Amino acid sequence: MGPLLFNTNYIAPIWSGDRINKTRGLAGNELYGEGFDVSAHRGMVTSVKGGPYDGTPLDELIRDHHEEVIGTSDDDGVTQTLMLDARETVSVQVHPNEAYAREHEDDHEKAEAWYVFEADPGSTLIAGSLTDDVDALRAAAADDTIGDKYGRRVPVTEGDFIVVPSGTLHAYGAGIFAVEIGTLGFTTYRLCDWGRGRELHVEKGFDVLDVAPKPDPIHLGKFDPTAPARTVRGTADDDLFVIDIMDVPENWDDVTGDEYRVLTCAAGECDVTSAEGSIHLGFTESCLVPASAGAYTVTGPCRIISSRMRH
């Protein structure tokens, strides 16, 4: 099975910016703030685009060809990729750990990472809490001010990469265009929505809140196609997923080794080629290299992000 492209599922939240529409050439007046490129999660499943499996939903492909797609692990999905573009700050959220997600939501843990494609001057993310006082956080959540009072603001710019563990208080900031790479789950508990009036999930949110993480970004800088090739490991050894960011001035060779790869083109453009086929990735686009693909080559120049679950 060769590299697979998917039909993107576009979503139009109330905070959507216009950069997804512009980058993907989407016509019409509706602005899309989210674009799921690779997902097997219920309600967000993407379908194969082109080739012998054209139109097949990814969850169905995994069920019918599990070892070819996933490898020998018993995972029921792959790392998810979605574009995000917000003209307003997104709700302040937390995601549950595996045990809580399984018991209460029939879901998996969600950890995530963001790679910033573009950011307006002065843009920030909320990544962690300014206080460890849970009672103070509860009081602020009660009047929808937890983000303003206790959100830990982290400045970001193009080329920044940050990992947000499950349980971490976080919010995606206004003026940022990025790719989110997530683990198998997608349950979200809102603790603050900046007065927009949408449903909050305060009790469950505080069940899973972890005030310890204070994540900071890795500053990779803008991609320079004339610079030497390099690989940066974006995740720690105890993270749920493995994410590498590669600068590829010419070619980069890899072998799946019984583990799939989800690849995202973070800058430039590239071809991804294995013995069973080749696909093209433009800026922001993602693909799945199945576990059965074996040896494959990325031909740039590009900055490519490779992700998979850790086993």
State the catalytic residues. Answer: 190
The pair of structure tokens assigned to 298 is 């990325």
What H or E segment, with its residue span, contains residue 1? none
Task: Indicate the burial class of 52 (C-beta count within 10 angstroms; 0-12, 13-18, 19 or more).
Answer: exposed
Contact 94, 207 (CB under 8 A): no
DSSP letter, residue 75: -
Q: Is the dihedral of CA 45, 50, 53, 55 positive or negative?
A: positive
Give the separation between CA 259 and CA 57, rounded to whole angstroms.
20
Q: Do the annotations mark residue 109 as ligand-binding? A: no
Residue 170 annotated as binding?
yes
Nearest C-alpha neighbor of 306 from the set 244, 258, 251: 244
Structure tokens that stand for 296 in this block: 């494959």
Which are the contacts of 37, defined by CB distance < 8 A and separation ≥ 6? 6, 8, 46, 81, 82, 83, 264, 285, 286
CA gap 109, 131 in Å, rounded: 24
Is residue 208 a contact partner of residue 109, using CB atoms and an 8 Å limit? no
Q: Is 95 annotated in some ligand binding site?
A: yes
DSSP 3-state assignment of 69? helix
Mode of pairing for the β-strands spanning 241-248 and 230-233: antiparallel
Annotated binding site: 95, 112, 170
Annotated binding site for Zn(2+): 95, 112, 170
